[in-house]
Amino acid sequence: MDTPSRMERRSIDYIPANERHGRARSLGFVWFAANTSITAVVTGALFVVLGNSALWSVPAIIIGNAIGGFFTSLHSAQGPRLGVPQMIQSRAQFGFYGAILPLVLALLIYLGFYATGLVLGGQAIASLIHVSAQTGAIIFALLSTTLAVFGYDYIHRYSHVAAVLSAVVFAGLFVRILADAKLGEAVGGSFALAPFVLGISLSASWQLTFGPYIADYSRYLPADTPRRATIGWTFAGSVIGASLAMTLGALCAALGGKAFDVQPVGFISGLGGPFTWLVLIAIICGKLTGNTLSSYGGYMSVATILTSLTGRDTVGIRLRSLLVGLISLVALLVALAATDDFLGTFTD
227/140 Cα distance (integer angstroms): 35
Helix, strand counts (H, E) of the chain: 16, 0
Strand, helix or coil at 99?
A: coil
The domains found in the chain, sorted by start residue, are 17-347 (1.10.4160.10)
**Angle of helix 133-150 relative to helix 152-178, nearest 10 degrees?**
140
The string of pLDDT tens digits covering residues 103-125 is: 899 899 999 989 999 998 999 99
The string of pLDDT tens digits covering residues 168-202 is: 999 999 999 988 878 777 787 888 999 999 999 99
Considering the entire predicted model, what is its pTM?
0.91
Q: Which pLDDT score, from 0 to 100, does residue 98 have?
A: 81
29/207 Cα distance (integer angstroms): 16
250/56 Cα distance (integer angstroms): 10
The string of pLDDT tens digits covering residues 3-43 is: 545 788 888 889 999 999 999 999 999 999 999 998 899 99
